[in-house]
Structure 1
């Protein structure tokens, strides 16, 4: 190439036969001339627009304008807006679904150029609600990223249909919470109509309230919002908030609020805290410390079910022993015995199993000890555990099961942890005959 490579590039581009490619090439050359501080860049863009005007295929013309507008946006913002407007005016003359397809391309291009105001202007003309709301949500996220909360909040009203409307509201709420703008977060909560997304928003509220170390009065404001909603929705929202706060360890506040709700609503909240906090031994221990009577037994049973479903871990030993010491329910004791056996804490397991009274449940308790002893290689210990069930029927059944498992083990098999399942089958058999 000669010293003036840009002039030569323009001359060579003129020889490109494909008008669409020629137009886009001129725009690229114009952009690089601008970067090289060559004043002739304007000529290159003029050539690009002239080449685009000669394109006979209307769809290719629009796509050429979008490319030209893209390169021009990096050089002259106002000029690029005119090019995008020209593309838009052509797009709206097309029938559906082509019109929507091209509008999506236009809006997507503007978002990539970080031009959310222009993108919003054109996105509202998209007739397909799914495509429109998807793009409006993306535009809202640009405003949030920029910190323009006023426009982000206004956009919630422009996004119709679910789940987009609720997702938009929740994302705005989350940003307000990050900024510790709790009053603004409260105001956006009214935009949520979906119970699911109300619940999701309240979980976010709980996390941020805890992290921000706000005064108790701020918690109360969100509780009042929930209680002020229609009864069914309000209960669901309050439940989500209290579960979230409980998961964050704010149990004093949660238990205080639970005193103000209907007794039937207490247990779902307590169960929700257990299910979301199963990896937090401190939260579970503290929660059980607030409970007594039937409420303790129900929640303790759920804790044990959750722990057994996730597999034994030594860090829960103190919690499980505490449940074993406090419970008066044999069904809960059986779960405690099973967990302790899985941990290899056989002395503690035997101590708890001795307290189980019913023959059926007693067989489950000592059966779980026997199976765990078998898995650890202690055959004599497994037989001894089975013999602890003195009831003629259930004692015989359990001994038979354990002897069978010993023989299976000797034959190269594995010890199946199916005592509870097989006991249920045997009980059903005896009840029928």
Structure 2
């Protein structure tokens, strides 16, 4: 009975555009439930179109109904889209282009890649047409990455859409999306070939990073170091700029820190570049970061170690312990020991923090660590331990603050 009441109540929606789309959505839901009343809902949706006078709004509503028909799995959706596209030919070119772009978005949402490409090619504005085709390619690439059962078909359609991209940056964006799709399918050599088609220096750098990230994530990057070298040389030759940083970063991600550092150290701002690569690595392949740290020089460990510890403190996890240990083994400045101690406190290994404090010579830094440890004990309700640690703090300022906190906590937890 509720469905009948909803269908009847929808008739009272005064705006015919909203009413049409409401009926269409109801029809989609009922079709999903195998409720035969979905037919009545869709008929009511089409009937509502008769009350729309504005041709643009009429076409928008028609496309909306077609979309919901498609979501309901009803094949007539294609005919409705085709009818709307045909009727849009009476509109001014710029207005029609907007309708066509809307149709493309709906078709992509239905994963109708072929239909989306066909409609996009009717857009009269070349720039908008290429933007829309790029959107189609990106959406198709993502569908392939998700493991679509029609991946081979979608890949063919993606390549078809690429053929119509002539200008930059659309062409380069398209080839990058093709490379992403190919990597997800395990076609790594083909992905490199796709990236080589990129003609924009900006997108070449982006593509280089994407390749290193995705091949690293796939666990195959070490097999393609030579391919990265060739790609870096080709891009450098073509664009007149140096791609050595991207190449060195690829070596880092591949677990080849010695080769990477050799490249970085030939540059004037080498420490900055190493720091950037280390942060890339900890996000994309943290297991190789400790090996990179082991090969850092005395003039590199402070900046690189600080950046890594800051990142780790923002993402505290026991899984990064090997990186922290590697940094401490390089005997960095004591300020980094403080960050390391803070990390151990955050992951619940407070005793390690106390051990670190014991080797710190600077009284202020040692007090910082012990104060942090004492506050952690307070949070856990361990008053005796907090007092013991507080008594080890030599800085009057920190001692005063800690004793104040301890006394308040003791009063709050006591019974009078």
User: Shorter-chain-normalised TM-score: which range?
Assistant: 0.5 to 0.7
Kindly provide the CA deviation profile for residues 375-406 of structure 1, in whole angstroms up to 9, marking residues without a partner as x: 3334343344344344xxxx211110111211
Q: Which residue of 2 aligns with 1:20?
A: none
- Where do residues 270-285 of structure 1 align in structure 2 (5 Å cutoff)? 270-277=275-282, 282-285=287-290
- Distance of aligned partners of 1:132 and 1:175 in 2 relative to their CA distance in 1, 3 Å threshold: closer
Q: Please, which of 295, 305, 310 is the counterpart of residue 290 of structure 1?
A: 295
Q: Give the length in aligned residue pairs.
A: 336
Give the structure with higher Rg (CA).
1
Structure-2 change in CA distance of 1:400 and 1:228 (3 Å):
farther
Residue 61 of structure 1, CA deviation: 11
The answer on whether the counterparts of 1:133 and 1:160 sit within 8 Å (CA) in structure 2 is no
Alignment of 1:31-180 (within 5 A): 88=86, 91-104=88-101, 116=114, 119-120=117-118, 123-127=121-125, 129-130=127-128, 133-135=131-133, 137-138=135-136, 145-146=151-152, 152-153=158-159, 155-156=161-162, 158-159=164-165, 164-177=170-183, 178-180=185-187
1:402 alignment counterpart: 402
Unaligned 5+ residue runs, structure 2? Answer: 1-52, 70-74, 145-150
CA gap of 1:328–1:140, structure 2 versus 1, over 3 A, is: closer
Distance 1:91 1:291, change over 3 A: same
- Per the TM alignment, residue 364 of structure 1 is displaced from its structure 2 partner at its CA by 1.4
| 1:255 equivalent in structure 2 | 258
Worse-matched range after superposition: 395-404 or 154-163: 154-163
CA-CA distance at 1:349 after TM superposition = 2.5
Aligned twin of 1:376: 380
Pick aligned residue for 1:195 from 183, 202, 217: 202
Superimposed CA distance per residue, residues 23-53 of structure 1 (whole angstroms, 9 cap, x where no aligned partner): xxxxxxxxxxxxxxxxxxxxxxxxxxxxxxx
Check whether the contact 2:173–2:203 (CA below 8 A) recurs between aligned residues. no
The change in CA–CA distance for 1:258 and 1:203 in structure 2 (over 3 A counts) is farther
What is the RMSD of the two structures over their aligned residues, measured on CA atoms? Answer: 4.6
Higher mean C-alpha displacement, 218-227 vs 327-336? 218-227
Aligned to 2:332: 328
Paired residue secondary structure (1:277): helix
Q: Give TM-score scaled by structure 1 length.
A: 0.60
Aligned in 2, Cα 1:383/1:231: closer, same or farther, shift over 3 Å? Answer: farther
CA contact (8 A) 1:228 1:234 kept: no
Distance 1:404 1:341 in 2: 21
CA gap of 1:296–1:100, structure 2 versus 1, over 3 A, is same
Q: Write the distance in 2 (CA, Å) between the matches of 1:257 and 1:227.
A: 18
Report the CA distance between 1:310 and its aligned residue: 1.9
CA contact (8 A) 1:107 1:123 kept: no
In 2, Cα distance between equivalents of 1:61 and 1:283: 56
Gap runs ≥5 in structure 1: 1-55, 414-433
Instruction: List per-residue Cα deviations over 1:182-215 (Å, max 9, x = no partner).
Output: 2563353442526367325532345337644635
Within 5 Å, give how 1:381-392 maps onto structure 2: 381-390=385-394
Counterparts in 2 of 1:169 and 1:367: CA distance versus 1, 3 Å: same
Aligned to 1:234: 243
Please list the CA deviations of residues 318-348 of structure 1 after superposition, one character each: whole Å capped at 9, or x if unmatched. Answer: 5434433432311011112222334454443
TM-score normalised by the chain length of structure 2 = 0.62
- CA displacement at 1:309 relative to structure 2: 1.7
Contact 2:100 2:122 (8 Å CA) reproduced:
no
**Corresponding position of 1:11:** none
2:374 and 2:389 in contact (8 A); partners too: yes
Decide which moves more: 207-216 or 395-404. 207-216
2:39 is aligned to: none
Provide the rounded CA distance (Å) in 2 between the counterparts of 1:140 and 1:385. 57
Asked whether the 8 Å contact 1:137–1:159 carries over to 2, the reply is: no
Change in Cα spacing, 1:181 to 1:243, as seen in structure 2 (3 Å) is closer
Aligned position for 2:357: 353
Give the structure 2 partner of residue 10 of structure 1. none
Contact 1:370–1:402 (CA<8 Å) still a contact in 2?
Answer: yes
What's the offset of the Cα at 1:138?
Answer: 1.6
- Say which SS state the counterpart of residue 360 (structure 2) adopts: coil
2:193 to 173, 186, 193: 186
SS at match of 1:224: helix
The alpha-carbon distance between structure 1 residues 305 and 372, as it changes in their structure 2 partners (threshold 3 A), is same
| Cα distance in structure 1, aligned partners of 2:121 and 2:205 | 27
For the pair 1:214 / 2:209, whether they are aligned, the reply is: no
Distance 1:339 1:115 in 2: 49
